[in-house]
């Protein structure tokens, strides 16, 4: 018999808040975290907006520590602190705690900074360059800080990274390999190089109105808005959590992962990979499609993704797709790339817990190809029991998680 896996701690760093409660409050009230980029000069860039985290890292870390970590690591450490504190983990269980964190592009901020130094002289490159840049270093930092000695590694699958990290962690607990894992995703990719790269491949919105640029499923959408931040959750075997008196926030009941096997950056036109990821996650949860109440969509605000995700939902859920609530949190926070799934998992867990479905803001003009209930512009009070959270990444990676209201 498979073991039940519950969530006992959550932490968020985002453009809409530096803790879970304020973040979710802003989400359900339809606030936008998108603003003009302030971290570098955008005068020569075609894209000038992003979902930046508005905080001075010097207020959270001393100068010595900041010299040794990239922005994506800092965000993960901040979010992990909240998640571990809310989970009330104590040193008696530390030794066996695993850490599995996902990221899409990792320490690109450090890479750009150190390349600038290299142009002056190879001797100017920091000895901390490599351990600041590599994606697995986040899991290492969390392990070292808290003394967690369980499995420790990173997962990289572009924008599906966090869902894969959570899903693989879920399986390790479900099948008895571990009792507790700290998991999620982090990203600090708002840099001149990454913004230029995504813009030149025509993935980013060039809408100058940052308040309405991210508009998933709207007929006038023109690309995603890049964002940064982290989402970290503590997941745990149910009886283990009960035994130590943990506060249980929700339950993970299913995970599905597939590949499009079609194109490096474009989803398959038939939506098959996305359909199968959702289908596999529901089968893993031993549910029927009719049991699902809400989908936190990948919903990037790109013309093709939103159309194909809608198609995939309709293919799988058939007539029940008309009963589903589908919304995109990226309308408010932008696209956190490898961290997107973790932050959106937290939104989904809180939605189940609080019986409220967050909106898709900036939805004004319906698209004939996107004809589901996208919860336009305002949250809905609704008792929901099961919800999906979708992420799809460059390379054709698809990962879906199923969450349940804990009872």
135 and 28 share one domain: yes
Helical axes 108-120 vs 192-200, angle rounded to 10°: 110
Nearest-angstrom CA–CA distance, 45 and 115: 20
- Spatial CB neighbours of 243, under 8 Å, sequence gap ≥ 6: none
Which amino acids are annotated catalytic?
159, 298, 335
* Predicted local confidence at residue 375, as pLDDT: 98
Q: Could you list the pLDDT tens digit for every one of the 407 residues in the chain?
A: 699 999 999 999 999 999 999 999 999 999 999 999 999 999 999 999 999 999 999 999 999 999 999 999 999 999 999 999 999 988 777 788 999 999 999 999 999 999 999 999 999 999 999 999 999 999 999 999 999 999 999 999 999 999 999 999 999 999 999 999 999 999 999 999 999 999 999 999 999 899 999 999 999 999 999 999 999 999 999 999 999 999 999 999 999 999 999 999 999 999 999 999 999 999 999 999 999 999 999 999 999 999 999 999 999 999 999 999 999 999 999 999 999 999 999 999 999 999 999 999 999 999 999 999 999 999 999 999 999 999 999 999 999 999 999 98
* Bridge partners, 58 (sequence order): none
91 and 220 share one domain: yes
Q: Single out the residue of 292, 287, 321, 282 nearest to residue 386, CA to CA.
A: 292
Q: Could you count the other beta carbons within 10 Å of the beta carbon of residue 115?
A: 12
Q: Single out the residue of 228, 221, 376, 377 nearest to residue 300, CA to CA.
A: 221
236 and 261 share one domain: no
Sheet containing 386-393, strands listed edge to edge, beginning at the edge strand earlier in sequence: 152-155, 98-102, 180-187, 229-237, 5-13, 250-259, 397-404, 386-393, 294-296, 325-327
* Predicted local confidence at residue 63, as pLDDT: 93
DSSP 8-class letter at 97: -
Nearest-angstrom CA–CA distance, 383 and 402: 16
275 and 139 share one domain: no
46 and 115 share one domain: yes
Q: Please check whether residue 38 is in contact with residue 45, taking contact to mean a CB–CB distance below 8 angstroms.
A: no
Q: Is 238 helix (H, G, I), strand (E, B) or coil?
A: helix
Q: How many domains does the chain have?
A: 2
185 and 37 share one domain: yes
142 and 40 share one domain: yes
Nearest-angstrom CA–CA distance, 33 and 229: 11
Quote the domain boundaries for residue 163.
5-243
318 and 185 share one domain: no
237 and 260 share one domain: no
Residue 53 domain flag:
yes
Nearest-angstrom CA–CA distance, 215 and 88: 38
233 and 326 share one domain: no
Tokens 């319906």 — which residue? 366
Residue 250 domain flag:
no
* Predicted local confidence at residue 150, as pLDDT: 96
- Spatial CB neighbours of 69, under 8 Å, sequence gap ≥ 6: 61, 77, 132, 137, 141
First to last CA, the chain: 19
235 and 295 share one domain: no
Nearest-angstrom CA–CA distance, 308 and 142: 37
174 and 299 share one domain: no
* Predicted local confidence at residue 25, as pLDDT: 98
Domain closes at, from 188, 216, 243:
243
Q: Please check whether residue 285 is in contact with residue 253, taking contact to mean a CB–CB distance below 8 angstroms.
A: yes
CATH assignment at residue 352: 3.40.47.10
* Predicted local confidence at residue 288, as pLDDT: 98
């Amino acid at each position: 018999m498979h073991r039940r896996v519950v969530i006992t701690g959550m932490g968020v760093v985002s453009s809409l808040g530096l803790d879970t409660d304020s973040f979710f409050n802003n989400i359900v009230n339809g606030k936008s975290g998108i603003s003009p980029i302030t971290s570098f000069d955008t005068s020569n860039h075609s894209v000038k907006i992003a979902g930046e985290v508005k905080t001075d890292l010097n207020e959270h870390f001393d100068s010595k520590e900041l010299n040794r970590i990239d922005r994506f690591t800092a965000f993960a450490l901040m979010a992990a602190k909240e998640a571990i504190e809310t989970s009330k983990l104590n040193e008696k269980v530390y030794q066996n705690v695993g850490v599995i964190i996902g990221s899409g592009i990792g320490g690109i901020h450090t890479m750009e900074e150190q390349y600038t130094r290299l142009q002056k002289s190879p001797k100017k490159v920091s000895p901390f360059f490599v351990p600041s840049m590599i994606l697995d270093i986040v899991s290492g930092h969390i392990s070292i800080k808290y003394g967690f000695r369980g499995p420790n590694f990173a997962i990289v699958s572009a924008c599906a990274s966090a869902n894969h990290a959570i899903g693989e962690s879920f399986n390790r607990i479900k099948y008895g390999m571990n009792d507790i894992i700290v998991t999620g995703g982090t990203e600090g990719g708002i840099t001149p190089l990454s913004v230029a790269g995504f813009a030149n491949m025509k993935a980013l919105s060039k809408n100058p109105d940052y308040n309405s640029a991210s508009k998933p499923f709207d007929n006038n959408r023109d690309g995603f808005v890049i964002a940064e931040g982290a989402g970290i959750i503590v997941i745990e075997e149910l009886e283990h959590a009960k035994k130590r008196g943990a506060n249980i926030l929700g339950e993970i009941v299913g995970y599905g992962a597939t590949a499009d096997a079609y194109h490096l950056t474009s989803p398959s036109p038939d939506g098959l990979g996305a359909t199968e990821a959702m289908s596999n996650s529901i089968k893993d949860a031993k549910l029927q499609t009719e049991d699902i109440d809400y989908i936190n969509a990948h919903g990037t605000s790109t013309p093709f993704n939103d159309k194909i995700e809608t198609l995939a939902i309709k293919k799988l859920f058939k007539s029940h797709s008309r009963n589903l609530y589908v919304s995109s949190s990226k309308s408010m926070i932008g696209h956190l790339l490898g961290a997107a799934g973790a932050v959106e998992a937290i939104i989904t867990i809180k939605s189940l817990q609080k019986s409220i479905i967050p909106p898709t803001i900036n939805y004004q003009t319906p698209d004939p190809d996107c004809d589901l209930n996208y919860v336009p512009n305002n949250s809905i009070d609704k008792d929901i029991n099961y919800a999906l959270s979708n992420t799809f990444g460059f390379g054709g990676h698809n990962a879906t998680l199923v969450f349940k209201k804990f009872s």
